[in-house]
Structure 1
Amino acid sequence: MHIINSAQVLLFVITKTARCVAEMLVAVHYVGLGCNVILCIQYLESDVVIDGEKLSELAVKDYNRGRMYLSDLATRAGVPVFSDISEAVLCAAQRCH
């Protein structure tokens, strides 16, 4: 059993400085399982450079579309979604008590 399966709260941070495709897939999996998930989703900006590569406008739109789908799914499932990391961490800490 993975240690993540025994966690009280799962906090996923999807940053605006990385693609985060794998992280979004894992998050959607645990949201679908009905786990106690909290999300922090930040959208990529149009001029973002990741791993030395400036992403095209089309790539940024595609990555942000994935973020929108995750946010929509989470909201429908009653999962809190934040854009500010500090607020998401505070929510996770409150759920641990």
Structure 2
Amino acid sequence: MSGNEITLIDVIGDNSESVVDEVDLKMQVVRLYNKMKAVLKNREKIVLELRYGLLSGVGKTQREVASMLGISRSYVSRIEKKAIKKLNKELKVEN
């Protein structure tokens, strides 16, 4: 390799910290989605996607999610807590 190697950061420009942070965030999001697919049941995944706006960018209340899925708000709460607990457990095992 020559002494004139160009890195990706050199090409991107001076905002290297913000670019690195953005890339890191995107990698974490991909990792989270992969874990969600692997670990969660379909309903758990749907509840988290709706609650936190993972697909639309706009989160919904437990009451709104309950209405959309035809279940009670308290059931949405239980599903959400269980799904988050599963994800936390899996992500801790990975680290």
Whether these two folds match at TM > 0.5 is no
Q: Judging by fraction of residues, say which structure has more helix.
A: 2
What's the TM-score bracket when you normalise by the shorter of the two chains?
0.3 to 0.5
**Which structure carries more relative contact order (alpha carbon 8 Å, separation 6+)?**
1
* TM-score normalised by structure 2 residue count: 0.34
